[in-house]
Amino acid sequence: MRLTVGQVHRHVLALASSRSCFVLGDHLPFRMLSLPRAVRFHLTAWHDTQTVEDKNGLLTLASLEVQNKVEYGKKERATRTGGTKPSSRASALNMKPKVSSFNAKPVKSALLKSAVLKKTLKIDESLFSAKSFEELGLPPLLIDRLNKEGLTAPTEVQSAAIPIISQKHDAVIQSYTGSGKTLAYLLPILSEIGPLKRPTEQDSSDKRSGVEAVIVAPSRELGMQIVREVEKILGPNDKRLVQQLVGGANRSRQEEALKKNKPIIVVGTPGRISEISAAGKLHTHSCRFLVLDEVDQLLSFNYREDMHRILEHVGRKSGTSSRDILGPLARRSERQTILVSATIPFSVIRAARSWGHDPVLVRAMSVVPLDSITVPRPVLSRTDANSNSPSNSVNQAAVDSLPPSLEHYYCTSKAQHKVDTLRRCIHALEAQTVIAFMNNTKPLKDVVFKLEARGMKAAELHGDLGKLARSTVLKKFKDGEFRVLVTNELSARGLDVPECDLVINLDLPTDSTHYAHRAGRTGRLGRKGTVVTICEDTETFVVRKMRKQLAVPIKPCEFTEGKLLVHKEEDVE
Ligand SMILES: Nc1ncnc2c1ncn2[C@@H]1O[C@H](COP(=O)(O)OP(=O)(O)OP(=O)(O)O)[C@@H](O)[C@H]1O
């Protein structure tokens, strides 16, 4: 039996619960919510009573062995067409992806035993081999702009995501850091709204006005980076059509710009977007797209109230109440929800199901309906967790978020000598653009001072700096005005400095997810990159543990006489 992705019957139930319900992370306390909210939260949470440890519960298609199960239409098409290639991508795009049922096989690891795949998505393989944006059916004006910016071919995740979003699916996009996820959602959005969009028959009668896409990011830096990306594509004449609503910037100026420029896209941090929305200065009821970038971070406890407001208001027709059964229906027809991150814990899958309509998980080379993924039970034994089996879902998930071209090393150093080790490391690797991570804000200044005192140009970046100072530091770093950016977790996610050739952990990241996001600041879009963790003797066991979780070789090394000396690989336990 085959079911189209858009099939309706499953959603009769979902309609009653999905968008009128609300989940934020795994730990949303009832007392923080008003009664109706608490009731809605309860309704949604009811779907999945099992819990998954966030830290170890990263979930990817590969982790669920879904990737192997994706069925491509190639064989069938070859039979139909006598083996000839389809004439154009556009015709391939008209084929709706299909879902077929199959008997779930028992999987090997204890965790995977419960991760039962009920259905796989049958999809045309040629969707994933696009050599140009034309093949993906993007509108000519948009392609012109891309070409002007030197962008001629889509990345794998873009090839997978653009057709899916264009077909109006709600989607979770997961792909490793630096693989081009931002354009993977921006391009299909800009194909539908704004001056570069695909011309339609309704254009003349289109009464839609106001904000049509809201993009939420957890940090100002990431928000501004997305704004720049949209501006770049829109071009100089239309860049006012995107408005930043990030915290730390002047709020009344943002409100004035909303009024004056009438942007079609707003990009901002959860606090500022919800603040301006609550003040009645941001109208998003007719919004068609809601994107949550770094969604796993946006689900954290800190953002719960703001995210609640955004999810409740964006894309809901005015006059519908959340208790009204028409509310979710109205929103469903209005809003497409797109969730994005390199790391997707199960809480995101659960949230996507609750907020979205027929959501699918999109990765480079694979697409699968979220509904086909069941909750993995937290039955990892210590042995399983430590296992190096390639089928270990935890390891596999973390590997999936790491760019494939990275080299990983660690070396030991006494705390007071770490900056010297850092300097020797930079010289030995001849790194030109370096990001050094620490866990706290205070010591950053000291490291910068020590590096500068030894003739190495450096600057600090952290949340205590004002917005202007932060953007100035970043701009100077991107322009190559100094060599080492010493920073904290603020810069671990989303920051795109393509030239960055070395990431250093001066303090250990708190877990493998944090390691992966920090590491992902280098080796962007297929470039080479190196990650070096400088730790104390007593901390090496943590690095070894992360090495197992990440299933990548983090090789022991030292830096002497201006050279990198790699020690014999330790036995992988
Ligand atoms: N099709 C393309 N051709 C050339 N460059 C591209 C293309 N798509 C994206 N890029 C560039 O690749 C870089 C990385 O893209 P992006 O920041 O979207 O990655 P990401 O997957 O979102 O990373 P992260 O997970 O770290 O946020 C950016 O500099 C972007 O401009």
pLDDT band at 125 (very low <50, low <70, confident <90, very high): low
pLDDT of residue 228: 96
State residue 459 phi and psi, 5-degree precision. Answer: -150, 155
What atom of ligand 1 comes closest to residue 182's alpha carbon? 18
**Cβ–ligand 1 contact at 523 (below 6 Å):** no
Between 371 and 466, the more confident residue is 466
Amino acid symbol at 283: H
- 484 has pLDDT over 90: yes
Strands 406-412 and 366-369: unpaired
State residue 495 phi and psi, 5-degree precision. Answer: -60, 125
CA of 498 to the centre of ligand 1 (A): 9
Q: Is the ipTM of this complex over 0.95?
A: yes
243-297, pLDDT tens digit by residue? 999 998 999 999 999 999 999 999 999 999 999 999 999 999 889 999 999 999 9
CA of 494 to the centre of ligand 1 (A): 10
State residue 122 phi and psi, 5-degree precision. Answer: -90, 120
183-236, pLDDT tens digit by residue? 999 999 999 999 999 887 666 555 556 899 999 999 999 999 999 999 999 999
pLDDT of residue 246: 95
- 88 has pLDDT over 70: no
Q: Which residues contact 281 (CB under 8 A, 6 or more apart)?
A: 255, 258, 259
Mean pLDDT of the 125-153 span: 86
551-571, pLDDT tens digit by residue? 889 999 999 999 999 998 654
Element (H, E) at 100: strand 98-101
**Cβ–ligand 1 contact at 25 (below 6 Å):** no
Amino acid symbol at 452: E
Dmax (CA) of the chain: 72
- 114 has pLDDT over 50: no
| CA–CA dist 487, 459 (Å, integer) | 8
Identify the residue whose C-alpha is closest to ligand 1 atom 22: 181
| CA–CA dist 91, 143 (Å, integer) | 18
**E-assigned strand segments in 307-463:** 336-341, 360-363, 366-369, 406-412, 434-437, 458-461
Helices (H) and strands (E) in the chain, counts: 22, 20
pLDDT of residue 275: 96
| CA–CA dist 360, 372 (Å, integer) | 9
- 491 has pLDDT over 60: yes
pLDDT band at 30 (very low <50, low <70, confident <90, very high): very low
CA of 183 to the centre of ligand 1 (A): 7
Q: Is 547 helix (H, G, I), strand (E, B) or coil?
A: helix
Mean pLDDT of the chain: 75
Q: Which residues contact 396 (CB under 8 A, 6 or more apart)?
A: 60, 62, 63, 390, 551
Between 321 and 6, the more confident residue is 321
Between 102 and 480, the more confident residue is 480
- 146 has pLDDT over 80: yes
Mean pLDDT of the 464-481 span: 93
CA of 463 to the centre of ligand 1 (A): 24
Please, are residues 511 and 343 in contact by the beta-carbon 8 Å criterion? no
| CA–CA dist 120, 532 (Å, integer) | 39
Please state which of the ranges 225-234, 369-378, 386-395, 465-474 shows the lowest mean pLDDT: 386-395
pLDDT of residue 548: 87
Please, are residues 423 and 436 in contact by the beta-carbon 8 Å criterion? no
pLDDT band at 317 (very low <50, low <70, confident <90, very high): low
Between 505 and 356, the more confident residue is 505
Given the structure tokens 């008997």, which residue do they identify?
103
Mean pLDDT of the 399-423 span: 92
- 315 has pLDDT over 60: yes
Mean pLDDT of the 91-102 span: 32
CA of 180 to the centre of ligand 1 (A): 3
Strands 360-363 and 366-369: antiparallel
pLDDT of residue 568: 81
| CA–CA dist 96, 92 (Å, integer) | 9
**Domain architecture of the chain: domains with CATH:** 5-106 (no CATH), 125-199+209-372 (3.40.50.300), 402-566 (3.40.50.300)
Nearest CA to 470 out of 479, 478, 461 is that of 461
Mean pLDDT of the 336-351 span: 90
| CA–CA dist 15, 5 (Å, integer) | 16
pLDDT band at 3 (very low <50, low <70, confident <90, very high): very low
First and final C-alpha spacing in the chain: 45
pLDDT band at 99 (very low <50, low <70, confident <90, very high): very low
**Cβ–ligand 1 contact at 126 (below 6 Å):** no
DSSP 8-state secondary structure symbol assigned to residue 117: B
Mind giving me the DSSP string for 229-248?
Answer: HHHHHH-GGGGGGEEEE-TT
**Cβ–ligand 1 contact at 221 (below 6 Å):** no
Sign of the alpha-carbon torsion through 547, 551, 556, 557: negative
| CA–CA dist 300, 302 (Å, integer) | 6
In the structure encoding, which two tokens stand for residue 320, read together?
């519908």
pLDDT of residue 203: 63
User: What's the burial of 257, exposed, middle or buried (CB within 10 Å: 0-12/13-18/19+)?
Assistant: middle
Please, are residues 60 and 363 in contact by the beta-carbon 8 Å criterion? yes
Best of 215, 496, 521 for a ligand 1 pocket test (most atoms within 8 Å of beta carbon) = 496
What atom of ligand 1 comes closest to residue 521's alpha carbon? 26
Mean pLDDT of the 94-121 span: 33
- 495 has pLDDT over 60: yes
CA of 159 to the centre of ligand 1 (A): 13
Instruction: Give percent above pLDDT 70 in the chain.
Output: 67
pLDDT of residue 572: 40
Between 182 and 61, the more confident residue is 182
State residue 108 phi and psi, 5-degree precision. Answer: -75, -55
- Cα radius of gyration rounded to whole Å, the chain: 24
| CA–CA dist 345, 174 (Å, integer) | 11
pLDDT band at 134 (very low <50, low <70, confident <90, very high): very high
**Cβ–ligand 1 contact at 73 (below 6 Å):** no
pLDDT of residue 398: 60
Nearest CA to 215 out of 252, 173, 160, 155 is that of 173
Mind giving me the DSSP string for 47-72?
Answer: T------TTT-B--TGGGT-GGGPEE
